[in-house]
């Protein structure tokens, strides 16, 4: 019966149980050590054990370290990136962060971090593990894996975990002497600034790269046309380019209606609205390039239509 109670705890904690959980379940100290001796439990860290037969996963290793370092511990740095579903190398060490600056705790195979500041330290549960939140971990990651920050930031923005504007605000909060991850975080966010203006999505920064790579006409970012802010205006033409993400433009009915109303006003005034989606731009950028070039060839820099044979 006692083991069944521990199984309930383990079922929601990646196959792990703790000595503290055992005590709460009424398991005696002698029973705990007997189960360790007989192989029903496998000790991972002092006071933390794996229920034998449970899957051995990366999440389990991270959760075990966090449980062993409680109270207040959380997955951080590379482990936080992994738990936020950022693709990470299999050989990453386990990183955890302690709220306390006290020394003495050591866990085999675990990198323990003790932050000097308390900014954005409220953990979020990811995969049921206390995890460093989205506004802090990119800066921490930059201190241990500078090249890994850019794909992490792209992942955050692409999955709408946080906007580039929110990340830049977080960067400003963490910018101070001694934060070694700040430069990498700043470099990653520079991709989300066009003409000194922060972009709204990964689509806009990708559009900028595609335009530069394929020598497309000059684009004005976040131009104001008829009182509307558009993603890009092809300079010297009536061509407007709009980048549509599924989350903000597809599932959001209010935004969908606003997009259609804006398109109607622009079209009535003689503008050519060219919309393309995240999927199209990411999977078939040449389709987007051809569409922009075709419109540019037809409508021309003067803003008047050309003959299709000219």
Sort strands 110-113 and 74-75 into parallel, antiparallel or unpaired. unpaired
Does the model's pTM come out above 0.75? no
Same domain, 93 and 168: yes
| Tens digits of residue pLDDT in 228-277 | 989 889 998 999 998 876 444 444 577 778 888 899 999 999 999 999 88
Rounded distance between C-alpha atoms, residue 115 and residue 119, angstroms = 9
Q: Count of residues for the chain?
A: 310
Q: What CA dihedral angle connects 150, 151, 157 and 163, to 10 degrees? A: -20
Nearest to 100 by CA among 75, 57, 70: 70
How many other β-carbons are positioned within 10 Å of the β-carbon of residue 115? 17
pLDDT over threshold 60, residue 105:
yes
Average pLDDT over residues 114-121: 81
The closest alpha carbon to 66, from 82, 87, 52, belongs to 82
Separation CA 23–CA 48 (nearest Å): 13
Asked if 60 contacts 79 with a C-beta cutoff of 8 angstroms, the reply is no
Please count the other Cβ atoms lying within 10 Å of the Cβ belonging to residue 96: 26
Q: Are residues 109 and 181 in the same domain?
A: yes
Question: Does residue 305 lie within any of the structural domains?
Answer: no
Position 80 confidence tier, pLDDT thresholds 50, 70, 90: very high
Mean pLDDT highest for which of 126-135, 182-191, 197-206, 208-217? 126-135
Domain-located, residue 46: yes
Q: What's the rounded Cα separation, in Å, for the pair 229 and 223?
A: 6
Domain that holds residue 181: 58-193
Tell me the mean pLDDT in the region 102-123: 84
Co-location of 222 and 265 in the same domain: yes
Give all strands (DSSP E) within the chain, no chain letters: 16-18, 41-45, 48-51, 74-75, 94-97, 110-113, 124-126, 129-131, 193-194, 197-198, 219-221, 224-225, 228-229, 232-234, 239-244, 272-277
CA end-to-end distance (rounded Å), the chain: 85
Mean pLDDT over 172-189 rounds to: 85
Residues 13 and 137 in one domain: no
> Residues 189, 207: one domain?
no
Q: Other CB atoms closer than 10 Å to residue 34's CB: what's the count?
A: 12
Q: Which of 33, 51, 69 is the last residue of a domain?
A: 51
**Total domain count, the chain:** 3
């Amino acid at each position: 019966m006692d083991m069944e109670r521990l199984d309930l705890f383990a079922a929601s904690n990646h196959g792990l149980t703790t000595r503290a959980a055992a005590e709460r379940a009424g398991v005696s100290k002698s029973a705990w050590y007997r189960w360790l001796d007989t192989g029903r439990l496998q000790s991972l860290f002092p006071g933390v054990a794996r229920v034998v037969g449970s899957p051995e996963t990366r999440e389990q290793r991270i959760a075990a370290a966090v449980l062993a370092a409680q109270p207040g511990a959380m997955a951080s740095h590379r482990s936080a990136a992994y738990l936020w579903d950022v693709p990470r190398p299999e050989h990453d060490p386990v990183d955890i962060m302690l709220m306390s600056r006290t020394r003495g705790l050591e866990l085999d195979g675990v990198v323990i971090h003790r932050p000097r500041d308390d900014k954005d330290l409220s953990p979020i549960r990811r995969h049921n593990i206390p995890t460093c939140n989205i506004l802090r971990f990119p800066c921490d990651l930059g201190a241990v894996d500078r090249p890994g920050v850019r794909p992490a930031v792209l992942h955050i923005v692409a999955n709408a975990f946080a906007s580039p504007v929110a990340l830049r605000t977080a960067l400003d909060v963490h910018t101070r002497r001694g934060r070694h991850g700040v430069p990498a975080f700043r470099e990653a966010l520079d991709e989300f600034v066009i003409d000194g203006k922060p972009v709204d999505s990964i689509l806009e920064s990708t559009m900028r790269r595609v335009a530069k790579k394929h020598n497309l006409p000059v684009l004005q970012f976040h131009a104001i046309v008829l009182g509307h802010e558009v993603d890009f205006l092809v300079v010297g033409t009536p061509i407007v380019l709009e980048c549509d993400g599924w989350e903000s433009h597809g599932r959001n009915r209010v935004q969908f209606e606003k997009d259609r109303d804006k398109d109607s006003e622009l079209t009535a005034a003689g503008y050519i609205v060219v919309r393309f989606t995240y999927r199209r731009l990411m999977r078939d950028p040449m389709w987007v390039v051809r569409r922009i070039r075709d419109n540019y060839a037809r409508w021309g820099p003067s803003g008047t239509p050309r003959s299709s044979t000219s």
